[in-house]
Structure 1
Amino acid sequence: MLVLGAERLRLDMNRLLALLFHQGVLDEQFLQLQQLQDESSPNFVYEVVNIYFHESEKLLRNLRGLLLDKEFSDYKKMGIHLNQFIGSSSSIGAKRVRAVCVAFRAASEQNNRAGCLRALELLEHEYCYLKNKLRELFQMEQQRVLAAGVRYPMQN
């Protein structure tokens, strides 16, 4: 019965990934990241994505802090944060987050504060959606591994 549960979870994971690819949330870079995971590093993707989450939260705080400062005028500094966000999003395959960062950077290059505020709001939305969906995926994976790994002793 547990093996069936593990198989059902694997199918659910595949459906969720297919949805995220269909929605443009993820791209093929995420699959390449998954291919780097093996028995010697079974939590590789989880660890890389958690580092991404940690760094992204700092970048979001920094961007919000810059934009909420009434005296703000350092669009160059904002561009540096956005370039970091673009690079890290690209490295895990966060396609929609990356696209919003590119639009955000364009607004910052035009010193468009209103456009930057709208882009920040959209970025926070896309980031939260990505984070929630990847956490859901990792929870399914953890449940699948547990279900597949349960072994009952042989009865005589």
Structure 2
Amino acid sequence: MLGLGVERLRGDMNRLLALLFHQGVLDEQFLQLQQLQDESSPNFVSEVVNIYFQESEKLLRNLRSLLMDREFSDYKKMGVHLNQFIGSSSSIGAKRVRNVCVAFRVASEQNNRLGCLRALELLEHEYCYLKNKLHELFQGRDQWEVANECFGKFE
């Protein structure tokens, strides 16, 4: 009975991960990140992703702050923030977030304030979607590990 629950959780996690790849939310870099996780660092991926989220939220605040300044003209500073966002998104396999950042950077290189505002809105949307889905994935993984551990005790 418990085994079915464990298998259902594992199946749900695999389906969610497959969906995120199919939608282009994640790319193969996320799989490479998962391969770095082992018994000596069982929470490696979630720790790296949590650091990414903390840094990304700072970058989003900085980008919004720059764009909300009526006297804004420092598109190079915006480009620096976007380059950081692109790099960190690439490192965890956040493909759609990275792609939006690239488009955002193009708008900033063209000093296109309206394009930057639109890109920021899209970036915030993609970022929130990624964060919610990865939270869901890690929550499912935690449940699976607990259930698998408990089930293993009864085998």
Q: Same fold (TM over 0.5)?
A: yes
Q: Does the residue aligned with 2:26 lie in a helix, a strand or coil?
A: coil
Structure 2 equivalent of residue 65 of structure 1: 65
TM-score (norm 1): 0.96
Q: Greater CA deviation, 5-14 or 46-55?
A: 5-14
Q: Can you give the 5+ residue segments of structure 2 that lack an aligned partner in the other structure?
A: none
| Alpha-carbon distance change, 82 to 151 in structure 1, aligned in 2, over 3 angstroms | same
User: Counterpart of 2:116 in structure 1: which amino acid?
Assistant: C
Q: Can you give the 5+ residue segments of structure 1 that lack an aligned partner in the other structure?
A: none
Distance 2:50 2:153 in 1: 36
Structure 2 equivalent of residue 48 of structure 1: 48
- Structure 1 segments of 4 or more deviating over 4 A? 151-154
Structure 2 equivalent of residue 103 of structure 1: 103
Distance 2:117 2:148 in 1: 46
User: Counterpart of 2:91 in structure 1: which amino acid?
Assistant: S
Give the Å deviation of 1:118.
0.1
Distance 2:147 2:28 in 1: 28
Distance 1:121 1:111 in 2: 17
Percent identical among aligned pairs is 83
Equivalent pairs, count? 154
Is 1:9 aligned with 2:3? no
**1:85-122 deviations in Å (ceiling 9; x for gaps):** 00000000000000000000000000000000000000
**Matching of residues 4-153 of structure 1 within 5 Å:** 4-150=4-150
User: Counterpart of 2:69 in structure 1: which amino acid?
Assistant: D
Distance 2:152 2:103 in 1: 54
| Alpha-carbon distance change, 69 to 48 in structure 1, aligned in 2, over 3 angstroms | same
Give the Å deviation of 1:75.
0.2
Distance 2:151 2:20 in 1: 33
TM-score (norm 2): 0.96
**1:52-99 deviations in Å (ceiling 9; x for gaps):** 000000000000000000110000000000000000000000000000
Once superposed, what is the RMSD of the aligned Cα atoms? 1.2
Q: Contact 2:34/2:45 (CA < 8 Å) preserved in 1?
A: yes
User: Counterpart of 2:120 in structure 1: which amino acid?
Assistant: L
